[in-house]
Structures are given as C-alpha cells and as structure tokens.
Amino acid sequence: MMFELTEDQQLLKQNVREFMEKNVEPTVLERDAAQKWDRSLYDQAAELGLTGLYLPEEYGGSGIDFLSYIMAVEEISRVDDGLGIALSASVSLCSNPINDFGTPEQKEKYLTPLAKGEHLGAFGLTEPNAGSDAARQQSIARLEGDHYVLNGSKIFITNASSAETYVVFAMTDPSAGTRGITGFILEKDMPGFTFGKKENKLGIRTSLTRELLFQDVKVPVENVLGQVGKGFKVAMATLDGGRIAVAAQAVGIAQGAYEHALAYAKERVQFNAPIAKNQTIGFKLADMATKIDAARLLTYRAASLKDAGKPFSKEAAMAKYYASDIALEVTADAIQIYGGYGYSEDYPVARYFRNAKITQIYEGTNEIQRVVVSGSILR
C-alpha cells in the first residue's frame, strides 16, 4: 500500500511545519519548564484551519479527509506534543463524537464553534477507580423531569478548565454495567461543574490536565449524546479514532527526536570525526528512521481505512501501540546519541523522551490495545 500525498496534503503538511517552527518552537522549552498551557497558540492553529480539518463544512469545518488531519497532528507533535494532544482531545475526542452521534441541534450549537476553533473541547471518561474498566465508573446521572442531575468526577482530563465544551459519560443505570452508561454534552459554566487540581506531569507539560468535578449539575435532556444507555458505544467508537491521533502524536515525537539526534550526530566531533561516521551511531540512526517509517505507515493505513468507511478498530489499535512503543525507543536512542547532553533539560531530546511515555498510556493502554488486536484476530 503506497501513500502518495496529494498536492493539498503536501501543502498542508508544509504549512503546519512552517507554523510550528515559526510560532511554537521558539518558546516550547520555556513553556515546558514552566508547565504552561498557552491558549493563544491554539487560537493561532484555529486561524490556520486546523481545528476543523475533517469536520463538515456546514458546521464550520474544512470537510477534507481524516488522513490530512492525522498528518497535521503529527507535524504539530513533532515540535510540541502538548499542543498536539490539546488539538487531538478537542477534535478527535470532543468534536468527533458530536459529529457522529449528535443531533442537528447539538451540531449547530456545539460543533460549529468547536470546528471554527472559537471553543476548545474536552472528553471525560476516566475516573479514579475506572481507567481501562469503564464499567466501574461512579459518576451518576439521575433523571429528574426535563434534566439529569450529575454527580461524580473525572481525572486526567486534557484541556480541563480551558475548554468550553465537554463530552462526558456517567451511569444512568448503575445496575446495567456498560449498558447503563450515557454520554452527555456539558458546558463550562453549568452551575455545580468545577475543576480540581492541575496535574503535575512527567511530560506533555505544555498541555493542561485537571480533574472535572460534578456536584448536582443540571444537564438538560437535550444534551444527551446519542441514546440513553448507549454511551459506552459512543465512547469506544470515539476512542478508535482517537487512537489514530495518538499514533500520529507518537510518530511526531519520534520524528522530532530523530531529527535533533541526526543533526547533533553530524555536528558532534569526537576522535577527529563527526560521531555520525561511527558505525554504531550510523546503525542506530538507520534503525530509528526505519521504525518511524513503519509506525507512520501503520498510522496512515488506519486513517485511510477510516476515510474509506471501512472497519479500522484493529488497525487503529496496532498503530497506536506500535507507534507509541517506537516513540519511547527512538527518544531513548536520541538521548544516547547526545550522551550526557541528552540527559540535560537544556537540550530538546529529554523533553521528547518524557513526552513519549504518555502515548503508551492514554486513549487505552498498550496492554488494552493488544487485547483489541488479539480479540480481532482470534474471532
């Protein structure tokens, strides 16, 4: 399977790369050290049209293919994965389920400002006692007349407190397990909806991660996303697409670390020659490049299947766990090429290494991805 990029895709890739190198890269080390989320950078990405790439034109999107969006996420993450996950959480995890499962009224009200980048989105599924096992979640939504009363919490939520729109899940029938989960669309200023602590993270420090807290939040019945009791289906379908975006993030992280390591290996002189001339370094760079290409091809294949309207759950899981595993390997090799300098936060590869780890965990751990793949091939 060959992926020959169209002229439009090549132009998009070039434009995103130029935007990131000009507007984002100069401050990324400083923002990472300060653990600072800069909403203005997301607003600039919106001006470039990145917040609505594959969303329908009638709701403010660009209406182009999903693969182009994935390429954009990769290019963003090559420089700043914090901005990459912020975009992915808003587009893949918030806008996408509203587009796929929302009513026309919900799309007009919520999807339009999300696609235009006027609003930022977030997705709330994980709880302190419900990570991979969604049926253990304890957030409860109780129907009272024309609204639900929501109580509970979510943790590790990207864009929390900065986002205006939230897709969250709660039990409407706690006795029914996953069949008792319902999806809802929440607004930031709903009474009783507040935010907990800001996470002190190992990586992706330029993104914002906080708790969602619900205390008697009144959610109108018209804000149910999909059907009552079908929220688990909404969440899993959403995560399938989100996993392709995580794979793209991982590829971007690996690519960025590789490019820095390659440039350093050409410049660093030891024993009267650039260290790239040393066969052990040259072979390491060859392995890094090969792994990145393999991960990228898996990622693009999954995106292309989604574009074609074909089943892609297995391929998304493959791309996600392979690309994230490779990202950790490649970033570790980049540090090794830098030697002692690579272990210093004054150089970029340490940040790439820290950022790579989370891609093995969120949107379903890599252990869960292997469950998805093995289940598919054994059926």
150 pairs with which residues across the strands?
A: 141, 217
154 pairs with which residues across the strands?
A: 212
193 pairs with which residues across the strands?
A: 214
Residues 6+ apart with CB under 8 A from 336: 284, 342
Give the pair of three-digit tokens for residue 164. 């205006």
DSSP-derived letter for residue 182 is E
Residues 6+ apart with CB under 8 A from 379: none
Give the pair of three-digit tokens for residue 160. 């929390």
C-alpha span between 334 and 353 (Å, rounded): 9
Secondary structure element (H or E) that encloses residue 59, with its range:
none
Query: Are 323 and 295 contacting, i.e. CB atoms less than 8 angstroms apart?
Result: yes
Q: How far is CA 363 from the centre of its chain?
A: 8
**Look-up: residue for tokens 């939040």?**
217
Query: Are 181 and 229 contacting, i.e. CB atoms less than 8 angstroms apart?
Result: yes
Helices (H), 268-362: 279-307, 313-338, 349-358
363 is catalytic: yes
Q: Is the four-CA dihedral 162, 98, 125, 251 of positive or negative sign?
A: negative
Exactly one of 75, 127, 315, 363 is catalytic; name it: 363
DSSP-derived letter for residue 21 is I
Kindly report the number of other CB atoms within 10 A of residue 339's CB atom.
Answer: 12
Phi, psi of 159 (to 5 degrees): 75, 5
Catalytic residues: 363
